[in-house]
Amino acid sequence: MNYNTNSSVRLLISCHDQPGIVSAVSTFLHEAKANIVQSDQYSTDPSGGMFFMRVEFEMLENSFDIDLLRTAFTEIASPFQMDWRMELGSRKKRMAIFVSKEDHCLLELLWKWRAHEIDVDIPIVISNHPDLKEQVEAYGIPFVHIPVSKETKAEAEKEAIQQLHAHNIDFIVLARYMQILSPDFVGTFPQRIINIHHSFLPAFIGANPYAKAFERGVKLIGATAHYVTNDLDEGPIIEQDVLRVNHRYTTERLRIAGRNVERIALARAVSWHVNDQIIVHGNKTVVF
């Protein structure tokens, strides 16, 4: 059977677990002339816990209206009180990158973008320092320098928000952006800001985690990619990775090794977000 290559749709659902959810969703898709390509589900407790589901399907019709499909699905979602979203797989998300002076996470994302391993558009990179302008513009991506100081922070954030809205940004990646975002900024993009913290959270929250790790004589160092909330470094964790170290590692060696972990964890988290594989529930995530 031939499928329209631009008709891939992703449906993500969370609700209280109860009988009939899978049957209702499957019947709806069958009647809508859709073919299920992949279906994943998870229940925290079959006896009244939470139920999470991700379905990827192809529409068999040559043309269809995603908005009409969403409207029709509300009749299925309502009785189960579902929290859900339906995304077109063919629509490229628009990602903005925020960065300061360190380039390793930024360059990892740009390389994967150029290699089509992260299928997004990157309309803008914003930085509070001018240092990485040439590297970014070498990829043909506009670089915007917005200086930030204690006195100008509010105005700088206002300018950044204006830039993001002007470029119709879907989500933001903080690729070692060394500024704490205000509640107003975070509230403008809820569950749409991904940060990489150079530590295996919840250990060593805040600044200088490698120095703290060295002082504690850790045997593992790690990195944590998470969604940003108003609580510093405490948002829903998307991905973590670790690397074994020993007593011979200086603070600088820990920092160098940690950069490799940071790149990997952040790139994975971004890829999962782009592919609509993440459901946020409270301060946790379910990653399919």
pLDDT band at 70 (very low <50, low <70, confident <90, very high): very high
pLDDT digits (tens, 9 = 90+) for 201-213: 556 666 667 677 6
Higher-scoring residue by pLDDT: 164, 256: 164
233 is catalytic: yes
200 band by pLDDT with thresholds 50, 70 and 90:
low
- Tell me the average pLDDT across 150-165: 96
Give the Cα separation of 13 and 43 in Å (integer): 12
What is the value of pTM for the model shown? 0.90
Which residues of the chain form CATH 3.40.50.170?
Answer: 93-287
Give yes or no for a contact between 196 and 176, defined as CB atoms under 8 angstroms apart: yes
Per-residue pLDDT of 51-67, as tens digits, reads 999 999 999 877 889 99
- d(CA 26, CA 72) in angstroms, rounded, equals 14
State which fold the 8-88 domain adopts.
Answer: Alpha-Beta Plaits (3.30.70)
The DSSP line for 163-223 is HHHHTT--EEEESS--SPPPHHHHHHSTT-EEEEESS-TTTT-SS-HHHHHHHHT-SEEEE
Domain with CATH 3.30.70.260 in the chain: 8-88
Closest Cα partner for 225 from 215, 235, 217, 216? 235
Q: Where is pLDDT greater, at 222 or 142?
A: 142
Residue 68 corresponds to which amino acid? Answer: L
What CATH number belongs to 93-287? 3.40.50.170
pLDDT in tens, 100-131: 999 999 999 999 999 999 999 999 999 999 99
Catalytic option among 17, 40, 119, 233 = 233
